[in-house]
């Protein structure tokens, strides 16, 4: 899965994203990422909680490259040499609240 220069809003932190108490509440930003699934699934798991949820997830090793730039001048780029995760999950989940 790849995205390049995807336009998003940076809210700086989770409390501000939820309650917007900072001024400005957010700034324009772009993100780019490349997620590569490395092989066959190493495991499968069912989603059964919280009550009303259902789904199936596949576990697999992945590599991730990530970068972001904000209109306020902040930028971040992951180190591609150390971005192999222990596992990634891919699947479909229904949470019982919105489905």
Length of the chain counted residue by residue: 99
Model confidence pLDDT, tens digit, residues 53-72: 888 988 888 888 899 999 99
Tell how far CA 64 is from the center of its chain: 10
Question: What is the model's pLDDT at position 96?
Answer: 66
SS3 assignment, position 52: coil
Instruction: State the pLDDT at residue 87.
Output: 73
pLDDT tens digits, 4-54? 999 999 999 999 999 999 999 999 999 999 988 887 888 888 888 888 888
Of 4, 5, 22, 3, the C-alpha closest to 13 is 22
Position 99 pLDDT exceeds 70: no
pTM here is 0.69
Sign of dihedral through CA atoms 23, 25, 31, 34? positive
**Residue 44's CB: how many other CB atoms inside 10 A?**
10
């Amino acid at each position: 899965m790849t995205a390049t220069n995807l336009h998003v809003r940076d809210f700086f932190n989770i409390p501000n994203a939820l309650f917007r108490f900072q001024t400005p509440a957010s700034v324009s930003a772009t993100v780019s990422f490349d997620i590569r699934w490395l092989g066959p699934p190493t495991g499968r798991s069912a989603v059964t909680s919280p009550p009303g949820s259902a789904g199936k997830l596949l576990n697999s090793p992945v590599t991730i490259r990530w970068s972001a730039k904000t209109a306020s001048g902040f930028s971040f780029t992951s180190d591609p040499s150390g971005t192999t995760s222990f596992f990634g999950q891919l699947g479909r989940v229904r949470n019982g609240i919105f489905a």
